[in-house]
Chains A and B, each alone.
Chain A
Amino acid sequence: MSTDALLRTALNAEHRALGARLVPFAGWEMPIQYPSGIVAEHRATRAAVGVFDLSHMGELRFTGPGAVEALDRVVSSDIAGLGVGLARYGLLVNEGGTIVDDVIVYRLAAADFLMVVNASNVAKDRAHLAARLPSTLAWADESNATALIAVQGPRALETVAALVDAPAELTALPTFGVIRVTVAGAPVIAARTGYTGEDGFELFTATSQAVGLWRALLAGDGSSSGAPVPVGLGARDTLRLESRFALYGNDIDETTTPLEAGLGWTCRLDKEFCGREAILREKAAGGPRRRLVGLVVEGGIARHGHAVVADGQEVGRVTSGTFGPTVGLAIALAYVPVAQAALGTTLAVRIRDRDVPVRVVLTPWYRRTI
């Protein structure tokens, strides 16, 4: 992808002023890290609070009569049963039963839904949905008009609550709850969702409001210990992997099925939705032949694309791998045959022509304790 055509979020100048290292990501110029570095940003999010610019993410909006029925038929999870003011994770699946995208659907009102999709998939998802939704349904791509700032960590609530017009409602918001509030003067859709394994919020606002909101969130209450820090995509990746959240394009894509990826729980097979028949066929045929498993690597760091080896034979591939700063281990996700997917199985990952022992372990590697 050429770098001269990169899109910039409304916070691009803020990132530059903070000394961020900017990299191309899904067609956007995004901060991979700030000067303190990935590990420090990761730890700050686990210990206190991190603030993330996620404005590259896609936002599709569905409104009007028929929206709930239509979405229920293109998303794997139960959208018909989703209450107003709540959100749900789900998948877009194609007729072949592989994963087009993973999304979160927010029900803002009875007939008003926000679907957050991966930045790299916006165009593909639009085409997928346009071919499958009723032509009468009103929907729009609001990605370029929407800024998204996530506030994540044990101090996320107090950080946002100090700036919100309705602190009691914000505090009472359940996990996967969503409300409209004003934060630091900016009208936002605030959701108690995230991709770090911590408590926190994702704040959707108009791009024109992004800078003011970002600055207010980072200013915090002025105390130096545990102050909000900006966090880039590098730490976002280590945080999500420790929590075993799948990353589209790495761990899941149109060559993987929900059952293989361990995402069968997102598929309500007792309702009609695109891809259901293929998933039912996969189940009827005895289930998936391979599974996405968690690994701990002893003596090296496994990376995306490395071969998984058993008895000298390649049996699978690593889809994500890094050093997990909080768990203090080299961790990875990999697809392996079902016969080798049992917890405790010893395999190897081929790292620079050397077979490094790995063990299949229970995931997530990290789970917050409060």
Chain B
Amino acid sequence: MSMVREGLLYSKEHEWVRLEGDVAFVGITHFAQEQLGDVVYAELPEKGAAVRQHSSMGVVESVKAASDLYAPVSGEILERNIKVIEKPELVNLDPYGDGWMVRVRPTDRGELGVLLSAAAYREHIGESPGTGGD
């Protein structure tokens, strides 16, 4: 499986963003979950919370270590994924699917411009271009 999925935007801190209309789904990348190891705990912002791009909005913990979850865009949290809180291993099993973290309503779509394309993120993590695509 490729670590990077086409059609998503990526932060250098290894979050992905999937836009659906005026709402953004956010999670951590396959690369991030692999680096982190088995995820055993997730702390996610509550509905209604305001998050700021590049600021910590939660924590993902593996057996070995805690890792900050950064907001890839500023906005209002519409929902946090309760399934991930209840079953943190979803982040390892399906980082781009059932392992999503939060739904955000971005307040400044201009911020999306600083995020990386799949190709740029692939370069960021040192994955060779030939291995891309799902």
Contact = CB atoms under 8 A, between A and B. Distances in A.
Given A301-B61, A352-B59, A323 B41 contact: yes
B63 A234 contact: yes
A275 interface: no
Interface residues of B, number: 13
Contact of B63 (A38, A300, A352): A38
B64 A234 contact: yes
State the main secondary structure of chain A at its contact with B: mixed
Contacts of B38: 37-40, 325
B84 interface: no
A283 to B, nearest CB: 38
Interface in B49-77: 59, 61-66
Contacts of B41: 300-301, 323, 330
Contacts, number: 41
A238 B43 CA distance: 21
Interface string B37-49: 1101101000000
Q: Chain A, interface size: which category?
A: 10 to 19
Q: For B43, B59, B63, B92, which residue has the most chain A Cβ atoms within 10 angstroms?
A: B63
Q: For B41, B62, B64, which residue has the most chain A Cβ atoms within 10 angstroms?
A: B64
A323 B37 contact: no
Nearest to B59: A352
A323 B92 CA distance: 16
A303 interface: yes
Interface in A323-370: 323, 325, 330, 352
Interface of B: 37-38, 40-41, 43, 59, 61-66, 92
Interface of A: 32-33, 37-40, 42, 234, 238, 300-301, 303, 322-323, 325, 330, 352
27 contacts: A32-B64, A33-B37, A37-B37, A37-B38, A37-B92, A38-B37, A38-B38, A38-B62, A38-B63, A38-B64, A39-B38, A39-B40, A39-B63, A234-B37, A238-B63, A300-B41, A300-B43, A300-B61, A301-B41, A301-B66, A322-B63, A322-B64, A323-B40, A323-B41, A323-B63, A330-B40, A352-B66
